[in-house]
Amino acid sequence: MSGADSGESIRDALRPFLLEAEISRHVPADRIYRAAGIGALTIAGERLEENDAEAAALLIETVRFAPAAPFQARAFAILEKAAVNGNPAAIGAVYELALDHQSSKALDTISERKLSAPDSAREAAKLLMINDRKRLLKSDPTLSELTRAFLAGNDALRCALLNRAEKQLSGWRALMEWLIAPDDPARRRQLVASFATFGTEERRCFFALMTEYPEAGSRVMADAWLRYDDGELRRLCEIYGAKPSDPEDAAVYYYLIEDWTRYRENDLDYRAVIRAFHQQDKELQLRLIALATRTGSDEWLSALNPDDRLTPSKAEFEIVDWAAQIRAANERNDVKRLWSLAQIAPLALVPDALDALAARGFKPNEGEETALYRRLQSFLGKNPPPYPPALHASAHHIAGTPLNFQLGADGRFVVMTGVSGKIVVLSRDALTAPILNFRLPGFSPRIAKISHDGKQLVSVWTDRTVRVFDLRTGGLVHQFALSGAETVDFWLKPDGRRLIRLESDGTVRELSFPTGVELSRENVSAGLVIAGGAYDAGKNRLLVIAANGTAIFVDLNRRLPLNRFEIAAPTRFAADMIDRDRLIYAADARLVITHCPSGNSILTKEIAVPASGRLSAAAFVPGCGCALAFSTEGTVFACATSSRADLGKFALPVQSCALARISPDGQYLYVVSDDGQLYQFALHDFRYALIPIDRIDPAELDAPRLSSGLRALLRERIDWDRRFEIDLDFDFE
């Protein structure tokens, strides 16, 4: 051992005794070699206690390369003991074995003995290697130290870190693979695809690296902005003047970032935007549509979908327009026009016209004209409009809180589903005698609806099964299982051969009915929690509504999104159908009518709901330009659909209003209370008072539903209009 004492390197002096069998052959080699090796290990251990880096390096070589296994074990034991005692050289050596040389024994020692590296980068690498993700993210919130360890590590460490990150930090792994070869298109695409999965720490690491390597990073950010609507991505793209890696994407990129000058330099007649729209990337489609409607650059949408109006069509001539005509005639002192309006305008407005005529001393012509004038004065004096909904019938068949409430397509049937698991089907003409009233033990219904032909009850249950019952016999005639997420709602197409199903994760499936075979599937709102939907049966379009108020309007025929917009949240829907491109809903104390597909508000009206209540439902009254909003206390507020004009306020004889619907023909209002009581109200008098004479079918008056006095007056006005063909020649200026 004199070489070591004379200044020769301890590593060079002792290596032969540990790593080479150079003992002379004429002596018992094993014993001498073993004695020499033990001595060398003893010296190395003593020098290690003095924090000698060369001794630590020799012990590492011994652990890795000594031909004698006992030497390997003893060398590691020396390192382990010194490391546990806090020896810096020994700790570094154990970390080198564990990380750079991938020694599982050394890694176990680090983990079990809770050794900490003085270098933060090595410590971060260790935490990933021992799968301690929680401590890693806490100590390295930007993953900068882990990145430093990766860049400084050898191939073995890099490979190990990437393997460990595959499940724990897949985004960071994609970043490191890109960082090794930033000009590799495949790795750039993989990194962009991984962006959506990034956690908070991975996002910080991503943006730090993009700014540290701006030339390559700007291309990645531009490509990512094309796929993801992320505010930080956009901000950095604008700062660094980013350009997408593929020049063909430049036009769409500049369109999305609203750099209109550069967009026009790269596109002609929106060709690139339309081409990108047809790539069937739902997220990109929705972003393009939302940007077009927000900025007014929507010419390409009109070319793409010529049948889709992005602005509401002109409303029909409704009651507010009649009121404006009466007001204008009164201001112009046009007695002749006032009398013509009194003869054919909606009955609810006739008292105003009669008052204006009386104030001017109007005298009608003798005979039939005088008789009509007096008849109007007499009837409206005794029965001033508006006429409240009249209670027609009530029934109590649901035990407990109602879950769902539907009307058949023709209004003949009422379906009630209770939280208790009961389904009840009632006839419009006999609410006290249920057609079906049943439970299925062990299962609970979610939604139940009547088929368009009025012959079957179609229901979705909590076991993700569709069950179809015959309304006449009550027997189960069809049954099929559903796949995917929970069903939020479903709709039967008018032809009765397809079922549209909306799921809680935003998936829309079209199924063959009644076989249940899946025909198509689209996910239109990834990442959103779906609260409900509204279906346009005539155009086969669906409005998907998320819990946060995001609404996505989809054309199911072409499988294309038509728009994405925001509605007030939380919403409470009175109907799950779109009526003439209009969606009506209640949000707290607001009644809202929204145009589909543009998302523009047609009407937003604050309702004077008592402080203790809120609006629970809203619905259109068909054919009369009126909407009803219902409060939880049972008050009904009537207003015009095209203005904020109030048309009446009525207190219904109900304890509460949980759900409300109006029959498709507008003749009946149904209200369900919190305890499951069903009330049927006749809307005949209310509705006919809002309709002008020329839009009333005389055949409708034959049914014994109107009050007799109102029926007689309406017939008389219809006969008068027919005989004299009153033409007001409306001026719409």
pLDDT band at 557 (very low <50, low <70, confident <90, very high): confident
Q: What is the pLDDT at residue 499?
A: 94
Q: Which two tokens stand for residue 242?
A: 């980013």
Residues 6+ apart with CB under 8 A from 386: 348, 638, 647, 648, 650, 686, 689, 690
Is 56 buried (19+), middle (13-18) or exposed (0-12) by CB count in 10 A?
Answer: buried
CA distance 241 to 243: 7
Q: Which two tokens stand for residue 361?
A: 């001393």
Question: Tens of pLDDT along 595-650?
Answer: 888 788 888 899 888 877 788 889 999 888 899 999 988 899 999 887 778 888 99
pLDDT band at 235 (very low <50, low <70, confident <90, very high): very high
Is pLDDT larger for residue 480 or for residue 35? 480
Whether 310 shows a pLDDT value over 80: the answer reads no
Angle between helices 69-84 and 88-95 (to 10 degrees): 130
Cα-trace Rg, the chain: 40
Q: What is the pLDDT at residue 313?
A: 54
Q: What is the pLDDT at residue 16?
A: 65
Query: Exposure string (b/e) for 544-582, b if CB count within 10 Å is 16 or more?
Result: bbbeeebbbbbbbeeebbbbbbebeeebbbbbbbbbebb
Q: Which two tokens stand for residue 712?
A: 């007689």
Q: Are 543 and 524 in contact (CB under 8 A)?
A: no
18-27, 50-59, 557-566, 696-705: which is most confident: 50-59
Spatial CA neighbour of 636 closest among 608, 597, 665, 594: 608
Q: How far apart are the first and last CA of the chain?
A: 114
- Rounded to 5 degrees, φ, ψ at 472 are -75, -45
CA distance 720 to 726: 9
DSSP E strands in 108-264: the ranges are: none
pLDDT band at 43 (very low <50, low <70, confident <90, very high): confident
Whether 304 shows a pLDDT value over 70: the answer reads no
The dihedral of CA 122, 123, 128, 130: what is its sign? positive
Q: Are 482 and 460 in contact (CB under 8 A)?
A: yes
Q: What is the pLDDT at residue 305?
A: 62
| Chain position carrying tokens 């049927």 | 680
Instruction: Catalogue the long-range contacts made by 502-506 (C-beta closer than 8 Å, 24 or more residues apart).
Output: 502/530, 502/533, 502/542, 502/544, 503/530, 504/529, 504/530, 505/530, 506/530, 506/544, 506/546, 506/552
CA distance 649 to 609: 11
| Chain position carrying tokens 């997420």 | 485
CA distance 505 to 483: 12
Secondary element (H or E) of residue 277: helix 271-277
Beta bridge partners of 595: 582
Whether 722 shows a pLDDT value over 80: the answer reads no
pLDDT band at 268 (very low <50, low <70, confident <90, very high): confident
CB atoms within 10 A of CB 467: 20
Angle at CA 725, nearest 5°, toward 688 and 387?
15
The dihedral of CA 626, 631, 633, 639: what is its sign? negative
Which range (456-470, 678-692, 694-708) has the least confidence? 694-708
DSSP string of 447-482? EEEE-TTSSEEEEEETTSEEEEEETTT--EEEEEE-
Question: Tens of pLDDT along 252-261?
Answer: 999 999 999 9
Cα within 13 Å of Cα(574), Cβ side:
34
Q: Are 303 and 310 in contact (CB under 8 A)?
A: no
CA distance 101 to 109: 14
Q: Which two tokens stand for residue 159?
A: 């490979």
Is 165 buried (19+), middle (13-18) or exposed (0-12) by CB count in 10 A?
Answer: buried
CA distance 328 to 331: 5
51 phi-psi bin (left φ>0, alpha ψ -120 to 50, beta other) = left
Residues, the chain, total? 733
Question: Tens of pLDDT along 156-187?
Answer: 999 999 999 988 899 999 999 999 999 899 99
Q: Which two tokens stand for residue 191?
A: 């990194």
Q: Are 619 and 660 in contact (CB under 8 A)?
A: yes
DSSP 579: B
Q: What is the pLDDT at residue 30?
A: 56
Secondary element (H or E) of residue 659: strand 659-662
What's CA 225's distance to the chain center, in Å?
20
Q: What is the pLDDT at residue 22?
A: 46
Q: Are 607 and 637 in contact (CB under 8 A)?
A: yes
Q: What is the pLDDT at residue 351?
A: 93
DSSP string of 534-573? EEETTTTEEEEEETTSEEEEEETTTTEEEEEEE--SS-B-
Q: Are 710 and 383 in contact (CB under 8 A)?
A: yes
Whether 532 shows a pLDDT value over 80: the answer reads yes
- Rounded to 5 degrees, φ, ψ at 484 are 90, -160
The dihedral of CA 632, 637, 641, 642: what is its sign? negative
Strand order in the sheet with 530-536: 530-536, 541-546, 550-555, 560-566
Q: What mean pLDDT is predicted for residues 296-311?
A: 64
The torsion angle over the Cα atoms of residues 519, 520, 521 and 525, rounded to 10 degrees, is -140
Is 636 buried (19+), middle (13-18) or exposed (0-12) by CB count in 10 A?
Answer: buried
pTM score: 0.69
pLDDT band at 300 (very low <50, low <70, confident <90, very high): confident
CA distance 471 to 455: 6
pLDDT band at 312 (very low <50, low <70, confident <90, very high): low
Secondary element (H or E) of residue 713: helix 708-724
Q: What mean pLDDT is predicted for residues 656-668?
A: 89
Whether 262 shows a pLDDT value over 80: the answer reads yes
Whether 508 shows a pLDDT value over 90: the answer reads yes
Q: Are 620 and 654 in contact (CB under 8 A)?
A: no
Average of per-residue pLDDT values in the chain = 86
| Chain position carrying tokens 């109102």 | 710
- Rounded to 5 degrees, φ, ψ at 258 are 65, 35
Question: Tens of pLDDT along 409-466?
Answer: 888 999 999 888 899 999 988 888 899 998 888 888 999 999 999 999 999 999 999 9
Q: What is the pLDDT at residue 26?
A: 45
Q: Which two tokens stand for residue 445?
A: 């219904």
Whether 21 shows a pLDDT value over 60: the answer reads no
Q: What mean pLDDT is predicted for residues 269-283?
A: 82
The dihedral of CA 401, 404, 407, 413: what is its sign? negative
| Chain position carrying tokens 């051969």 | 497
In the chain, what percentage of residues exceed pLDDT 70? 90
pLDDT band at 134 (very low <50, low <70, confident <90, very high): very high
Q: What mean pLDDT is predicted for residues 341-353?
A: 90
